[in-house]
Copies of this chain bind each other. A is one copy, B any other.
Amino acid sequence: RLRREVLFFPSQVTCTEALLRAPGAAPSALPDSCPCGLPHGESSLSRLMRALLAARVSLELCLFAFSSPQLGRAVQLLHQRGVRVRVVTDCDYIGPPGSTRSHLVLSAGIQVRHDQDLGYMHHKFAVVDRRVLITGSLNWTTQAIQNNRENVLIMEDDEYVRLFLEEFERIWEEFNPR
Where the two chains meet, the residues of A that have a C-beta atom closer than 8 Å to any C-beta of B are 4, 6, 8, 10, 64, 115, 117-125, 135-138, 144, 146-151, 153, 159-160, 163-164, 167, 171
Cβ–Cβ contact A148 & B122, under 8 A: yes
Given contacts A151-B135, A164-B151, contact A159 B4 (CB under 8 A): yes
* In the complex, residue of chain B having the shortest beta-carbon distance to the beta carbon of A64: B137
Cβ–Cβ contact A150 & B122, under 8 A: yes
Q: Is the interface of A mostly helix, strand, loop or mixed?
A: mixed
Q: How many copies does the complex hold?
A: 2
Q: Which residues of B contact A4 (CB under 8 A)?
A: 159
* In the complex, residue of chain B having the shortest beta-carbon distance to the beta carbon of A120: B148
Q: Which residues of B contact A147 (CB under 8 A)?
A: 117-120
Cβ–Cβ contact B122 & A137, under 8 A: yes
**Whole-angstrom CA separation of A149 from B61 in the bound complex:** 14
**Whole-angstrom CA separation of A119 from B163 in the bound complex:** 32
Cβ–Cβ contact B135 & A123, under 8 A: no
Q: List 18 A-B contacts (CB under 8 A).
A: A4-B159, A6-B164, A8-B167, A115-B149, A120-B147, A120-B148, A120-B149, A121-B149, A122-B138, A122-B144, A122-B149, A123-B149, A123-B150, A125-B137, A135-B137, A135-B153, A136-B136, A151-B167
